Amino acid sequence: MIYHHYVWITLFLMTTVQQIQGQDDACIGVTCNNKGTCVPNTAYSRGYWCECDDGWAGQDCLHPEPTVQCGEDRIDVVIDKGLVQELEIDDDVRFVYFGRSSASSQCQATEENNLYKLSIQSPFTSCGTQAIQRNPGDDYTFSNTVVWNREVHNTDNLIDRELVLLDFKCIYEDTYTVGPVGPMDPEISVLKVVTENGKFEVRMRLFDDNSFTREHEYSESPTVAIGTYVYVQVELDFAEDSDLVVTMDRCYASQSRDPGDPISTKHMLVVDRCANPNDSTVQVRYNGESTESQFKFQMFKWRWSADDIYLHCEVDICNSANETCTGEGIDCKGLGGFRKKRAAEMEGEYIPSLTPHTGHIISKGPIHVQFGDNLSKNLQSTDQQDVDTPIVALGVILGLILVALGIIAGVHFRKKQQLKSELLREEAETASNKRLTSLHFTTESF
């Protein structure tokens, strides 16, 4: 994550500030502290102020400049108490707080070692902090002020004007990585995402079977045999709202660690939240239905090179209560039927006109390609291992039905044969009786 902050010190006086040019006498004999430069100005009681070098503030550049630390979990503001004291106003810590808040206790300053300290906790929307993202994919800007205002604890009916001590903003890139950065670092497999809904982590994990369990998770930079199915899971962590889901808008394989490399060969796996219709081995199991989205594809090699493969997914944290988070079609939700194997080699495509990323990009790689003479054996074993459980169950049920039908047919045939035998026996007995009754006996006398 990259943090940016811009700080403007706007120390207002309780009188109208007007800069008057041309009176140099006030700066005669004046030496500003910490390399500051004297500037005549009758708005100040002494007729001048000091233009301070970076890191210093105050009329004489005597005090450290207020600091704003834009952290992962909190925004911390520190203001030197001397900046308030030199304005000759009450320096009670109770009068210093975030200006867009209601001055509640969690938005007020605390005092430590002559410093006012204030903090805003993630997701940075408390104490009246404003969060702005102009367009999808743009950075988030969180802005607020720190003010002095005695009115919040006024017991003496004093009428004071609110003074803005500090106007600040923190700009958070909407995606950032953890860990050191360098040319040999591992892939960006974990993203930390800041949105108006909070701060989340999105990670990509690879498995060797469809159980998606830790025991079957690939190690970092795995070596995978051509033809073996790779099971990919993108998961959203720290989402307290049950309506928040993670959606894979598109995923692709690339020869480059950089997902935006315009000259790198790419092969699309998930397109418009659905399996790429041009790759028959890709199947989306879940996408945009929960905090876990899953798909599988068959390992391949680049046709014209032996380069490693990097996986990149553009993901979106989607609110299923008021957004459409899933794709449309049978290839978007794991409902597609059996898909034939594609060739073990992929030529890939140069896609310089690939639509710019508008979401968060998460990557995994390199995945090393395993070559050898056992390619056909790998393809055969992959097919055997990757038979879906519903298909197996359906086959067993059909087999049992066929066996039952065979048994019934056998019994019926046996009974039919028995009836036929009995009928033939009865016909034979009837014919025999007819022959005996038709004989005529004669007698002769001697």
pLDDT tens for each residue of 177-227: 333 333 333 345 566 666 666 677 888 999 999 999 999 999 878 999 988
Query: Which domain range does residue 82 map to?
Result: 3-173
The predicted-structure confidence for 237-257, as pLDDT tens digits, reads as follows 877 788 899 999 999 999 888
Average pLDDT rounded to a whole number, residues 99-117: 84
Q: Mean pLDDT score of the chain, rounded to an integer? A: 75
| 32-36, 97-101, 173-177, 389-393: range with highest mean pLDDT | 32-36
Partners of residue 361 on adjacent β-strands: 314
CATH number, residue 164: 2.60.40.3210
Strand boundaries in 196-282, DSSP class E:
198-207, 223-225, 229-237, 244-254, 265-271, 274-275
Q: Which amino acid is residue 146, in one-letter code? A: V
429 pLDDT band, cuts 50/70/90, is: low
List of residues 6+ apart from 389 with CB closer than 8 A: none
365 pLDDT band, cuts 50/70/90, is: confident
Are 189 and 175 contacting, i.e. CB atoms less than 8 angstroms apart? Answer: no
229 and 318 housed in the same domain: yes
16 and 130 housed in the same domain: yes
Are 224 and 300 contacting, i.e. CB atoms less than 8 angstroms apart? Answer: no
pLDDT score, position 74: 84
245 and 336 housed in the same domain: yes
54 pLDDT band, cuts 50/70/90, is: confident
Residue 302 reports pLDDT greater than 90: no
pLDDT score, position 325: 92
Q: Of 138, 154, 173, at which residue does a domain stop?
A: 173
pLDDT score, position 287: 94
Q: Of 173, 195, 221, at which residue does a domain stop?
A: 173
The predicted-structure confidence for 308-341, as pLDDT tens digits, reads as follows 899 999 998 888 888 899 998 888 877 544 455 5
200 and 314 housed in the same domain: yes
Q: How far apart are CA 118 and CA 140, in angstroms?
A: 21
Does residue 427 form part of some domain? no
What are the CA-CA distances from residue 282 to residues 75, 295, 381, 390, 400 (Å)? 43, 7, 18, 18, 32
167 and 292 housed in the same domain: no
Number of domains in the chain: 2
Residue 24 reports pLDDT greater than 70: no
151 and 186 housed in the same domain: no
159 and 271 housed in the same domain: no
CATH number, residue 231: 2.60.40.4100
Q: Of 126, 144, 173, at which residue does a domain stop?
A: 173
What are the CA-CA distances from residue 436 to residues 80, 369, 420, 445 (Å)? 137, 93, 25, 25
16 pLDDT band, cuts 50/70/90, is: very low
